[in-house]
Amino acid sequence: MQQTTPSVSIGMPVYNGAGFSRQALDSILAQTYPHFELIISDNASTDDTAEICQEYASRDSRIRYVRQEKNIGAACNFRYVLDAATHDRFIWAAADDWWDQDRLEHLVQALTPENAAVVGTIRRYVDGVPYAEYVPVTFEKGAWWRYLMREEARCEKVYYANGLLPAATPLAIMLGVFAWGASGGWQVLAVALTAGAAIESGLLLIALARMGLLAWTADFKTAAPILSASLGLLPGTFVMAFGPLIEQAIAAGLGEGSNAALTYGYKLPAAVQSILVTAIGITALPYFSAQIGQGRHAYSLHSLNKLTLALLTGGALLALPLGLFSAEIAALLYQRGAFDASATARVVPIQLAYFIQIPFALVTMLGIKAVAALRRNGLLSLYTALGVLLQALLAYALATRHGLPGIAWAAVIVSALMTITTYLTTRGTLRRLSP
């Protein structure tokens, strides 16, 4: 009985991909495994994507190009190329990803009757030389496409762990306070903080072990890069720890209740910033590390520019209504009992300044992670230390003239300067590394 060669359907949803789709298409057409069809769904792009795709479709009969009459949304566009597939085997291709030449061949070889799907490419390095490992994964047949909406599905577990594990410490503190109340005093907070940190560390070790990333070795040379990077960040981290103390010390000299007003003004903006900045930090570092590790410096620069603009715009759109209704928000959250209208009036300008800081804080975190991915940790530590020093000087100067809001505005100014500095550093480095 003659064995037929399996064919693969490749689905590429694209929107405004003129800047990078040629490289993606070239890498797919250069595959060592030639038995495939490529379905391109153009989600009503407004740039030159249509002309580029039509050009490639006219040169290679394996390409089917479809242009949507109107933008149907990213999820529907992904589903469209899946529904249009004519072969039993299917894989999505991102219009801004470039494939190794043998990627499709390895994926087809790894797909056996026992595996309903093959997931992803895991990039590893041995003695500085990259190689790819293709991992077969068993899924429930008939429903496997639900699990492949993100092609690198294994990586999702890393993000979930990074995002959820830090919740262990605040949860432990809340449970401790709820169980013992005020009767426990500072001892409850200390015990809960220690327990939360221990739980978080234990769960992290378990997650690393399950992913095969935890192993004991007597060769401490492998830890040298991590230790070196950590030591590079240590001075800046040490100095940064004194930032809040300096602000509190300056506020203490501005009269009774100043520290409390500063704390109340920072509460809600800090909560919003914490959620968004943590999310960016979790995803940005592995993303830029992967791109830079693969030598995709030009694409990393492209991503940096787009993400910077998106975060500035999104952060500003978020900060605008919060700032406009800062007085109403403060009154709703805090104005009760001894916290009267005069206390609200004192907190509002502080809270407003910290709301305005939000877009700068988001882009600063993006820049910090990008600089860290470039292994410029020493420079990052220097920026942090100088930023804390400058903020202390500005806070003192502005507080002398403008009172408590001056301390908050000092943080806004330094955050904006950090945004500019980290962005320019990353952009300049990536430009020098780009071919």
Structure token digits, residue 223? 């830890």
pLDDT digits (tens, 9 = 90+) for 202-219: 777 776 676 555 555 555
So what's the pLDDT on residue 294?
A: 61
Residues 108, 126, 149, 41: what is their CA dihedral angle, to the nearest 10 degrees?
A: -70
Does residue 19 sit in helix, strand or coil?
Answer: coil
Is the pLDDT at 292 greater than 90, yes or no? no
Provide the strand spans (E) within 52-203.
63-67, 89-92, 117-126, 129-137
CATH topology of domain 8-151: Spore Coat Polysaccharide Biosynthesis Protein SpsA; Chain A (3.90.550)
Q: Worst-scoring range by mean pLDDT, 87-96, 183-192, 384-393, 423-432? A: 183-192
Is the pLDDT at 338 greater than 90, yes or no? no
CA distance 356 to 58: 51
pLDDT digits (tens, 9 = 90+) for 149-198: 333 333 344 455 555 666 677 777 677 767 765 555 566 667 777 787 78
Domain range annotation of the chain:
8-151, 162-215, 217-433
**Confidence at 122, pLDDT banded by 50, 70, 90:** very low
Q: How far lies 133's CA from each of 6, 34, 120, 145, 398, in Å?
A: 21, 20, 9, 21, 56
- The pTM assigned to this predicted structure is 0.56
Q: How far lies 198's CA from each of 170, 207, 289, 337, 389, in Å?
A: 12, 14, 28, 38, 33
Q: Worst-scoring range by mean pLDDT, 39-53, 81-95, 100-114, 123-137? A: 123-137
So what's the pLDDT on residue 112?
A: 57
Q: Read off the pLDDT of each residue in 22-28 and give the average, rounded to a whole number.
A: 92
348 within 8 A of 330, measured Cβ to Cβ = yes
